Amino acid sequence: MRRKLKVPIPKVSFRRFSEKSKADQLIGQAPGTLIYTGKKTTDKVEMEIFSYNEEEIHHHRSEDLSEIMQGFDGNRINWINIAGLSKVELIDKVGQEFSLHNLLLEDILMVDQRPKSEDFGDHIFFTIKMFHDRTEFGIEFEHISFVLGKNFILSFQENEEDIFGLLRDRLVNSYGKIRQKKADYLFYRFIDTIVDNYFLVLDSLAEKLEELEDEVMDKPSNHTLQKLQRIRKETIYLRRSIYPLRESINSLSKSENPLMEMETERFLSDVYDHTIQIIESMETYRDLHSGIMDLYMNMASNKMNEIMKVLTIMSTIFIPITFIAGIYGMNFQHMPELGFTWAYPAVWVLMLCVVIGMLLFFKSKKWF
Amino acid sequence: MRRKLKVPIPKVSFRRFSEKSKADQLIGQAPGTLIYTGKKTTDKVEMEIFSYNEEEIHHHRSEDLSEIMQGFDGNRINWINIAGLSKVELIDKVGQEFSLHNLLLEDILMVDQRPKSEDFGDHIFFTIKMFHDRTEFGIEFEHISFVLGKNFILSFQENEEDIFGLLRDRLVNSYGKIRQKKADYLFYRFIDTIVDNYFLVLDSLAEKLEELEDEVMDKPSNHTLQKLQRIRKETIYLRRSIYPLRESINSLSKSENPLMEMETERFLSDVYDHTIQIIESMETYRDLHSGIMDLYMNMASNKMNEIMKVLTIMSTIFIPITFIAGIYGMNFQHMPELGFTWAYPAVWVLMLCVVIGMLLFFKSKKWF
Amino acid sequence: MRRKLKVPIPKVSFRRFSEKSKADQLIGQAPGTLIYTGKKTTDKVEMEIFSYNEEEIHHHRSEDLSEIMQGFDGNRINWINIAGLSKVELIDKVGQEFSLHNLLLEDILMVDQRPKSEDFGDHIFFTIKMFHDRTEFGIEFEHISFVLGKNFILSFQENEEDIFGLLRDRLVNSYGKIRQKKADYLFYRFIDTIVDNYFLVLDSLAEKLEELEDEVMDKPSNHTLQKLQRIRKETIYLRRSIYPLRESINSLSKSENPLMEMETERFLSDVYDHTIQIIESMETYRDLHSGIMDLYMNMASNKMNEIMKVLTIMSTIFIPITFIAGIYGMNFQHMPELGFTWAYPAVWVLMLCVVIGMLLFFKSKKWF
Amino acid sequence: MRRKLKVPIPKVSFRRFSEKSKADQLIGQAPGTLIYTGKKTTDKVEMEIFSYNEEEIHHHRSEDLSEIMQGFDGNRINWINIAGLSKVELIDKVGQEFSLHNLLLEDILMVDQRPKSEDFGDHIFFTIKMFHDRTEFGIEFEHISFVLGKNFILSFQENEEDIFGLLRDRLVNSYGKIRQKKADYLFYRFIDTIVDNYFLVLDSLAEKLEELEDEVMDKPSNHTLQKLQRIRKETIYLRRSIYPLRESINSLSKSENPLMEMETERFLSDVYDHTIQIIESMETYRDLHSGIMDLYMNMASNKMNEIMKVLTIMSTIFIPITFIAGIYGMNFQHMPELGFTWAYPAVWVLMLCVVIGMLLFFKSKKWF
Amino acid sequence: MRRKLKVPIPKVSFRRFSEKSKADQLIGQAPGTLIYTGKKTTDKVEMEIFSYNEEEIHHHRSEDLSEIMQGFDGNRINWINIAGLSKVELIDKVGQEFSLHNLLLEDILMVDQRPKSEDFGDHIFFTIKMFHDRTEFGIEFEHISFVLGKNFILSFQENEEDIFGLLRDRLVNSYGKIRQKKADYLFYRFIDTIVDNYFLVLDSLAEKLEELEDEVMDKPSNHTLQKLQRIRKETIYLRRSIYPLRESINSLSKSENPLMEMETERFLSDVYDHTIQIIESMETYRDLHSGIMDLYMNMASNKMNEIMKVLTIMSTIFIPITFIAGIYGMNFQHMPELGFTWAYPAVWVLMLCVVIGMLLFFKSKKWF
């Protein structure tokens, strides 16, 4: 199960990150104590290993780590994908198998960890957020981690959804250069795939903004407002997840670790370019959002003006002539006008004059 | 007694920090003159010492410094906790006992001192704020200071509340590695415990924001506004207390003082990561808060529009037909219509036409 | 065909960049996979080559690359202009002909690529946006790329519009020093021409802002608001296209590549100066825009006040006197006043007093 | 006489600084031309000299510089205090006596000079603003300058108010270490005294903000608004006076001039800490101010909503029933209802139904 | 003729800079093509030369460059002032005479060029804006350029207005040290004179802001709003002209060109200080302006509240009692009350009760 940015209107959770921080469990714990902070909705963990070189590829799938490790071949490149983080003891075992630092394992399990890369010498750790755009529920975040070693890549997903399907197909079918390259190239392809995916989320954001702008111009309502607030919150969370990426991908692309080949670094600096472009888009959408908010406010204010105008025109036209009618509804015995034959039509004429006068006044004020 | 961010609605104190600065007492004083600037609500000071190594641990509790110092053993690690800062002369004696600089003692007593770390060569000074979230009273701040020496740690709290209970239990029961490490590890654990505690406060903040967003969407009122203002002020004070931490923990984690072991510095850079994450959350909540304020304003404006619409519709429908009724309430002797048998129903028809006309007009304006 | 910032009122596309990103096609593709992300409205590609030195100039135009390459003379300077990016395989062939890196070709085809310059040693890549101000449709963006080699310049346009017409004339007629200089000078002239063109767009923007300010002061309406929103979006997109230019032109002007002569670098730092000036103008227009928005809001608020004043004055004057008329319209049998001869004129006097009293009240409030 | 931030409501001067800049007098003058730019309300200048060492202290007071200089003893530390800057020629003489640069003297007399420190080798110049909080008149600024030499300190005040009274007492009574230290220590104590004084001003600002917040929540009015504007302006001017201090005190505390002893530099870095804390408080108050402004605006908007609700409820209830009454006030001869015995109570029932219907409608809208 | 910030209310030009950029003329031109981009209102160009040393000064005035150059004496310091830039060919000749780079000449003629300084080795180029505060027309900008050589200074003004009158007098009368110094001192005095002039413009700006604040507090209107908008635009343009100055004067004052003597650099760093002070004032005025805008908005909102209160009080008092009068104006035959003797006064009492009730209600709401 994936954590959701709970954004079905009107209920939206602000505790997107903190809700699951389980901060109270962590307080006072020794550093590196492993606690999974995501939603433990299922205990199922799926693992698979791809062990390949240019000639051949072996694939095993199991829920047992020792079976997976039997497929590991030190002379080939081994990609182990672990989908599901709820079994903390399994992650612990993986850590022992590959001699990973406890703080690294903590970061894998801490689903609120901000994107970062860390160089441990004989392996490189990288963590990033995957976005899933569930239109009806808003954007869902998934915490993805990678460990790149000399001849292996570990990938950790929060759930079993197949986000690297295209890469798996290319691997299996040896399409492109992917089987001829070292582990760092696959590592780069993972990151590239996730970052390219961000463009999809941005497209969807742009589309929603566009619809909302139309709605604001056409018939703004409280509902529009709530949708705007929802977008705003999604944007805030997206920015928070994407911003640190700039720094972490940059440090990757300038890594001096021999695990990273020159060519991969060139590719990574291309990913870095995309990250900058995504961040600039985020800023653009932020600006556009605040533009729509301004528009909304001014449209509402204009609507108010229009309503008030109608009320004022109707009132100021009818109030004086109703008064005139009231005058001649009085029951005084001595009201000479009442007896005059021409009085009634004269009152009509008087009223007409008042009405025309008021209309001319409004005309002069440019009220219509 | 703890100082409070006085936030029971509607009275909120802006002088959270400055109220107690007792600035007028300080002016013209020599540097390092010791004045306690917190609320001197009680003179009680509790002290305890834990003197331990891997094998054994000794614990003394007293209100007399000399008794405490008898428990001090230079060959073991000594943690002295002093709860209560109101007895200035006691702090002075502690300073003499451990040869602490007067400016350091001043910073311990100055409860408004911003978080900082200072390296005095043979000891390191660190001060930080502890937050206590008293839901009904808002967030309370406590000024905590530490002095790390070769074989001792001094901790200064403003009051007797037991914030390091978990660590004390671990120490006493020798749970985990805590008894096998040097003083700098215990020092790190103190800081880590306090910073982890910040996540709790952030969670509570997020929860309040979420409730307020619901309230704004459902039934915004002046009361909502006052709660939003209260949150805003809490956020401002939290930011102010947390921001300087980034710098001070960073300088700790890069300290070259031999008191700090390499491993502890690695752990501290993990705390630094958490601090960054907390600061980013603060920024997020700040953005969310301003989003809710915008929402509030627009909801109020929409409500106004709706109210005005009702008034305008009712008025513009009834004002013309009331006028018609007024016309035939006039007492002119020569009003031929009054005598016609069909006049009365005809007037009803006329009024109906007016009403229908107005309704069509409002329909065309999309007012309902 | 050129992509448009779709800004005919009221429909405006937010997906100016992302709409064409075709992000879903790109995901999982190997790096450097060539996909044209612009609007493939036509398959027509026009190519021409100018091969010149100080003495002579040869000009060929063809749709076939091999014919163009026959006009290439390694001892002269060769400018090849390719108008139209829809034939990906052609771009691929050009890349092979001049040994260009695949990532470079990708950037040529990626019409959303932000402006950048990249030094590949034996050639320099530069990409920039051209703006076309179609007054009725808003501003259109065109993705332009250049590759500068030792004795050649490649220029890639999205469409066949002749944006370098003036330069071509100067080349053909050997006007100025253009034929006596190396390829880097022509390269500089291309960039200079495009950047100078930005001033035209800024002029047009300034003119529109000026008109809108007048409109806001004179007769602000929803339509004005929509035009302001349109300008806002254009400004956001322009800023996004121009900002990165600062960095890329600066790095060009400080390039240490021998392809760039000292004098050209001096000229480029002049272009850099212009870029700074353009960016400052953008900021100015942004400030001016938000000033006009404020003006709009306050004008609307003033208008509301004025409307309310009219309503209030009319109502508060006529409501009391209508009440008086109502009183004497009652049908009680025992109303002594009704019989008095002077009662009717007395009521008129009373009403007059009420009217005068109200008017004096409004006067005292400075309502007129 | 002191210059005032003219803030008695409602008249507030924006020309706090520039009013006295006497810019027109300065234009075209040679550099270092001495012109006093403060308010020359009196020609009185008071001078006094304290000449002291650890054993003894001599004190002279005179209006004649030569008399003062007779008290100067090169083997002791000499503090000369000059209160009043209106006699330009006197300042000139002081400058000649101590070989001060003309630009330095210009800065002493230029009361709008921003805080700065300047190292002239054999003497150090430092200028700072003193704030006097005249509650009824707002905050007053005083331009204070110091010159620190090997065995002397010159202090220049704008007026005769005794701001260093506490220090003078300590000097005269040899209280604390002040008489045992060199001139740089006294110099530090001057700066420390002034900076500590800032806390008082901040306290007063906090108190005013707190009162205004209460006022906004309780009964916001135009008067509240004007007080908020006054506070805003005071905050702007305070920030402007305090910000440059950070830089100037920092450069002092890192001075390599032998006039500054190591220990004094440590004390100055403590003052620097205070300056940072003051600047952070300023930022906090700025945020709080804008929070109160938001509160004000929303309170006003809520009040409007409440007023409109009352109007709308009253109008929409009475307008329809008044219409009904109007109907039966018509004078048609053929209105069968008028003759029915039960018609009158039936009309009352009808009206009651209308009233109840409207009330239910408002209830459904949650208007009360 | 001078270009104007066209700010007579209500017409204000946003194209202050760009209007004259004549961008379309420039596109495709070779670098350094000389085009005057200011308003060519007159062809008149006035030139004068001052050739002086400590002993003597010669002065020539002519419209012919060769005549002017006859007054040039390489052993003295020569100041040539050229007022009027419309004769491009003259500027070209001057450039040839003094071997100036074409890009430098372009910057002299480009009246929109932002302030900058450029070091050409044997001469230094400096360009700056002069402000003329024409109160009725707003602020006018003038583009001024200087070229400092070993024994000459060239100054270029856009028009013939005498802005260096004071300096000329000092030169001619050998007042002060001006004749004893080298060319760089005169150069510094030019810059100093212009920067001092900025204080005048700031004073005028402060005065206008002060008046507008009074107006907002007293009787805010659309006219006030337009004046605020005008000030806003002036401030935006001023900031844009002044900001780059910081950098350019700083680089001058740190120039290592032998043309600049140490002492002059000291003086220039004093000018730099003034520039900082001016920029800080600009920021202050910007903050003040936005404070006044807030004030305006809230005053308008308060006014609206007050108007609505009057309307609501009048309406809710009179609507119910008018209804009562309406009741007894009905013509039912069976209305027993109508026959009671005490009915009429009883109705009056009833109405009085309603009025008092409403008034008490408003009182409880604190509406007066």
Tell me the residues of chain B between 289 and 328 that have a Cβ less than 8 Å away from chain A: 291-292, 294-295, 297-299, 301-302, 304-305, 308-309, 311-312, 315-316, 319-320, 322-323, 326-327
Q: What is the pLDDT, as a whole number, of residue D7? A: 36
Q: List the pLDDT tens digit at each of the 368 positions of chain C.
A: 344 333 333 333 443 333 444 556 666 677 767 777 776 556 778 899 999 988 889 999 988 899 999 999 989 999 999 998 888 889 999 999 999 998 899 899 888 888 999 999 899 999 999 988 776 667 888 899 999 999 999 999 988 777 888 888 888 887 778 888 899 999 999 999 999 889 888 888 888 898 999 999 988 888 999 999 989 998 998 998 899 999 999 999 888 899 999 889 989 998 999 999 999 999 999 999 999 999 999 999 999 899 999 999 999 999 999 999 999 999 998 888 898 989 999 999 999 999 999 999 999 988 87
Contacts of D331 in chain E (CB under 8 A): 331
E31 at C interface, C-beta within 8 A: yes
E64-93: b or e for each residue (b if 16 or more CB lie within 10 Å)? ebeebbebbeeebbbbbbbbbbbbeebbee
Residues 6+ apart with CB under 8 A from D363: none
Q: Subunits with at least 3 CB pairs below 8 A relative to chain B?
A: A, D
- The confidence band for D9, taking pLDDT boundaries of 50, 70 and 90, is very low
Q: What is the pLDDT, as a whole number, of residue C1? A: 36
Q: Which residue is closest to D166 within chain B, CA to CA?
A: B28
pLDDT per residue as tens digits for the range E294-315 = 999 999 899 989 999 999 999 9
Average pLDDT of chain E is 86
Q: Evaluate if pTM is beyond 0.90.
A: no
CA angle B287, B293, B298 (to 5 degrees): 125
Contacts of B322 in chain D (CB under 8 A): 319, 322-323, 326
Half-sphere CA count of C327, side-chain side, radius 13 A: 25
C48 at A interface, C-beta within 8 A: no
Q: Do B28 and D193 touch (CB under 8 A)?
A: yes
Q: Do E328 and C330 touch (CB under 8 A)?
A: yes
Q: Do E330 and D344 touch (CB under 8 A)?
A: yes
- Lowest model confidence (mean pLDDT) among A14-28, B157-171, B265-279, C43-57: A14-28
Q: Subunits with at least 3 CB pairs below 8 A relative to chain A?
A: B, C
pLDDT per residue as tens digits for the range E198-233 = 988 888 888 889 899 999 988 888 899 999 998 999
Ramachandran angles phi, psi of A154, nearest 5°: -105, 135
How far is the C-alpha of E253 from the C-alpha of E260, rounded, in Å? Answer: 8
Contacts of D337 in chain B (CB under 8 A): none
DSSP codes of every residue in A251-314? HHHT---TTS-HHHHHHHHHHHHHHHHHHHHHHHHHHHHHHHHHHHHHHHHHHHHHHHHHHHHH
B270 at A interface, C-beta within 8 A: yes
Residues 6+ apart with CB under 8 A from A295: A213, A216, A217, C225, C229
Name the segment(s) of chain C with CATH classification 1.20.58.340.
310-364
pLDDT per residue as tens digits for the range D55-98 = 889 999 988 899 999 999 989 999 999 998 888 889 999 999 99
pLDDT per residue as tens digits for the range E162-176 = 788 888 888 888 777
Tell me the residues of chain A between 337 and 356 that have a Cβ less than 8 Å away from chain B: 337-341, 343-344, 347
The answer to whether residues B179 and B171 touch, using CB atoms and an 8 Å cutoff, is: yes
Question: What length does chain C have?
Answer: 368
* D307 pLDDT more than 70: yes
The answer to whether residues E100 and E195 touch, using CB atoms and an 8 Å cutoff, is: no
Average pLDDT of chain D is 85
CA distance D170 to chain E (A): 37
Residues 6+ apart with CB under 8 A from E160: E44, E46, E83, E84
Please compute the mean of the pLDDT values over residues A237-255 and round it to a whole number.
91
Q: What is the pLDDT, as a whole number, of residue E147? A: 96
DSSP codes of every residue in D28-40? TPPTT-----S--
Please compute the mean of the pLDDT values over residues E56-64 and round it to a whole number.
90
* A4 pLDDT more than 60: no
- The confidence band for E365, taking pLDDT boundaries of 50, 70 and 90, is confident
Tell me the residues of chain D between 75 and 134 that have a Cβ less than 8 Å away from chain B: none
Beta-bridged to residue C139, according to DSSP, are: C133
Mutate to test the interface with E, among C312, C318, C338, C368 (most CBs of E within 10 A): C312
Name the segment(s) of chain D with CATH classification 3.30.460.20.
3-297
Q: Do A320 and C314 touch (CB under 8 A)?
A: yes
pLDDT per residue as tens digits for the range D262-286 = 889 989 998 999 999 999 999 999 9
Contacts of A213 in chain C (CB under 8 A): 12, 14, 229
* E111 pLDDT more than 70: yes
The answer to whether residues B280 and A114 touch, using CB atoms and an 8 Å cutoff, is: yes
* A8 pLDDT more than 60: no
Mutate to test the interface with E, among D318, D327, D355 (most CBs of E within 10 A): D318
Q: Which of D103, D225, D310 sits opposite E298 (nearest CB)?
A: D225
To the nearest whole percent, how much of chain D has pLDDT over 70? 90
Q: What is the pLDDT, as a whole number, of residue E42? A: 63
Q: Which residue is closest to C203 within chain E, CA to CA?
A: E18
Q: Which residue is closest to A342 within chain B, CA to CA?
A: B334
Q: Which residue is closest to A279 within chain C, CA to CA?
A: C240
To the nearest whole percent, how much of chain E has pLDDT over 90? 50
* E13 pLDDT more than 60: no
What six digits make up the tokens of B356? 């229908």
CA distance B366 to chain A (A): 9
Q: Do A206 and C19 touch (CB under 8 A)?
A: yes
Q: What is the pLDDT, as a whole number, of residue A1? A: 36
Whether domain E309-364 has CATH 1.20.58.340: the reply is: yes
Q: Do E197 and D27 touch (CB under 8 A)?
A: yes
Q: Which of E266, E284, E323 sits opposite D318 (nearest CB)?
A: E323
Phi-psi region of E123 (alpha: psi -120 to 50; beta: other; left: phi over 0): beta
Please compute the mean of the pLDDT values over residues D182-200 and round it to a whole number.
91
3-class state of residue A154 by DSSP: strand
Beta-bridged to residue B184, according to DSSP, are: none
- Lowest model confidence (mean pLDDT) among A42-56, A124-138, E14-28, E90-104: E14-28
Q: What is the pLDDT, as a whole number, of residue B6? A: 36
CA distance E329 to chain D (A): 5
* B9 pLDDT more than 70: no
Contacts of A359 in chain C (CB under 8 A): none
Please compute the mean of the pLDDT values over residues D117-126 and round it to a whole number.
92
Q: Do B329 and D329 touch (CB under 8 A)?
A: yes
Q: What is the pLDDT, as a whole number, of residue B31? A: 72
- Between helix D262-327 and helix D343-364 the angle, nearest 10°, is 160
Q: What is the pLDDT, as a whole number, of residue E148? A: 95
D289-311: b or e for each residue (b if 16 or more CB lie within 10 Å)? bebbbbbbbbbbbbbbbbbbbbb
* A242 pLDDT more than 50: yes
B203 at A interface, C-beta within 8 A: yes
CA distance E5 to chain C (A): 13
The CATH superfamily of D3-297 is: CorA soluble domain-like (3.30.460.20)
Q: Do E199 and D293 touch (CB under 8 A)?
A: no
CA angle A158, A161, A166 (to 5 degrees): 120
- Lowest model confidence (mean pLDDT) among D123-132, D172-181, D232-241: D172-181
Q: What is the pLDDT, as a whole number, of residue D41? A: 59
The answer to whether residues B36 and B88 touch, using CB atoms and an 8 Å cutoff, is: yes
Q: What is the pLDDT, as a whole number, of residue C137? A: 65
The answer to whether residues D289 and D231 touch, using CB atoms and an 8 Å cutoff, is: yes
Q: What is the CATH number of domain C310-364?
A: 1.20.58.340
Instruction: Give the count of Cβ contacts less than 8 A between chain C and E.
Output: 169
Q: Which residue is closest to E334 within chain D, CA to CA?
A: D341
